């Protein structure tokens, strides 16, 4: 258990991998803000964790409503004065039925709005709070499907996973990770991208890993020591190709 609890915010945490990231961070003794776009769903998700004695508090964070981010910042600033960990976990994936030849461009726009643009806006808005931390950590929940190296390599196993909007949104998220890490290189803040693995959730019913395993990479990167990496892309401690 930590002696001084870290303050962590996990977006999209009312279910799936995000909820398990909350559990694991809270079990390590940290104060975890469980981000949810629907407060009723977040409250219901937090309840069993709270009953188990964990300090998990639901917090409304809707990536479709960036106008709410300034008030969110002010609320966190007033309540805590800093943020130690931001896990950008919330995402949508709605274009599996299409290829790059057929996907409606509106779907690409909607996916980028949530998975990329709102994520960048939220991160920038909360950055002053992360800079108040002695060891700020930003984890961008990416995917192996972001990897252009693997997508362009015949036989890499991604042939059945060519959803352009989702995959390219994660590629853009990886670019944000590299660029933000560079912008923050003279600060204690570390920024890394995580691939959770193929995890059985509502987003990926065919996933083979449990959420317990799927949460581990993000939790590792959220709690990196001062000599840990920044600007990287990892799965369970192993670097992945961009
Ligand atoms: P999930 O079970 O579908 O959970 C997605 C979460 O994002 C939910 O809490 C959802 O809230 C939330 N969300 C969606 N739109 C939102 C918005 N506008 N504002 C705030 N929250 C929003 O998916 P998951 O599998 O746990 O995925 C978590 C992360 O891991 C995602 O970034 C995903 O891309 C990544 N990932 C997953 C896999 C996998 O195999 N599962 C593999 C690689 C990467 P609602 O419940 O309200 O919809």
How confident is the model over 76-109, as pLDDT tens digits?
999 999 999 999 999 999 999 999 999 999 999 9
Residue 6 has pLDDT above 80, yes or no: yes
pLDDT tens profile 7-49: 999 999 999 999 999 999 999 999 999 999 999 999 999 999 9
- Report the DSSP beta bridge partners of residue 239: 234
Give the E-state strand segments of 2-123 in sequence order.
Answer: 7-10, 31-36, 56-60, 85-88
Tell me the pLDDT band of 3, cut-offs 50, 70 and 90.
low
**What spacing in Å lies between the alpha carbon of 26 and ligand 1's midpoint?**
19
Per DSSP, the three-state class of 5 is: coil
Query: Is 146 within 8 Å of 170 (Cβ atoms)?
Result: yes
Indicate whether 203 pLDDT > 80. Answer: yes
* Closest C-alpha to ligand 1, atom 12: 12
How many C-beta neighbours within 10 Å does residue 57 have? 18
Find residue 88's DSSP bridge partners: 140
Three-class secondary structure assignment of 64-91 = CCHHHHHHHHHHHHHHCCCCCEEEECCC
| CA 165 to centroid of ligand 1, rounded, Å | 15
Residue 13 CA, closest ligand 1 atom number:
9
**Residue 194: which H helix or E strand, with range?**
strand 190-194
pLDDT of residue 4: 80
Atom 10 in ligand 1: which residue has the minimum CA distance?
12
Model-wide pTM > 0.95: yes
| Average pLDDT along the chain | 97
**Residue nearest (by alpha carbon) to ligand 1 atom 34:** 91
User: 186 C-alpha vs ligand 1 centroid, how far in Å?
Assistant: 31
Sheet containing strand 233-235, strands side by side? 56-60, 31-36, 7-10, 85-88, 137-141, 190-194, 233-235, 238-239
CA 131 from centroid of its chain's CA atoms: 18
Q: State in Å: Cα 16 to ligand 1 middle.
A: 7
The residue whose CA has the least distance to atom 17 of ligand 1 is 63
Which two tokens mark 152? 């362009």
C-alpha–C-alpha distance, residues 198 and 78, integer Å: 38
Q: Give how far the C-alpha of residue 138 lies from the chain's centroid of Cα atoms, to the nearest Å.
A: 8
**Protein residue with its CA nearest to atom 42 in ligand 1:** 198
Lining ligand 1 with CB less than 6 A are 11-12, 14-18, 37-38, 41, 61-64, 89-93, 114, 141, 143, 195-196, 198-199, 201-204, 207
Q: Could you count the other beta carbons within 10 Å of the beta carbon of residue 150?
A: 17
Phi, psi of 203 (to 5 degrees): -70, -30
Q: Which domains does the chain have, with CATH numbers?
A: 7-239 (3.40.50.720)
């Amino acid at each position: 258990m930590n002696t001084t609890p870290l303050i962590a915010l996990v977006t999209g945490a009312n279910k799936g991998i995000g909820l398990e990231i909350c559990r694991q961070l809270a079990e390590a003794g940290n104060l975890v803000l469980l981000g949810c776009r629907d407060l009723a769903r977040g409250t219901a998700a937090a309840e069993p964790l709270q009953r188990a004695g964990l300090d998990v508090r639901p917090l409304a964070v809707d990536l479709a409503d960036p106008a709410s981010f300034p008030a969110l910042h002010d609320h966190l600033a007033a309540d805590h004065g800093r943020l130690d960990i931001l896990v950008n976990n919330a995402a949508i994936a709605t274009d599996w039925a299409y290829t790059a030849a057929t996907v409606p461009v509106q779907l690409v726009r909607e996916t980028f709005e949530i998975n990329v643009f709102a994520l960048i806006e939220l991160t920038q808005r909360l950055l002053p709070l992360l800079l108040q931390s002695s060891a700020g950590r930003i984890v961008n929940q990416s995917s192996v499907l972001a990897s252009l190296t693997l997508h362009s390599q015949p036989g890499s196993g991604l042939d059945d996973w060519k959803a352009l909007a989702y995959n390219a949104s994660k590629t853009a998220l990886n670019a944000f990770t590299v660029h933000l890490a560079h912008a923050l290189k003279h600060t204690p803040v570390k920024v890394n991208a995580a691939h959770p693995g193929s995890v059985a959730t509502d987003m990926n019913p065919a996933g083979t890993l449990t959420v317990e395993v799927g949460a581990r990479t993000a939790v590792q990167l959220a709690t990196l020591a001062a000599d840990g990496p920044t600007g990287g892309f990892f799965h369970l401690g192993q670097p992945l190709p961009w």
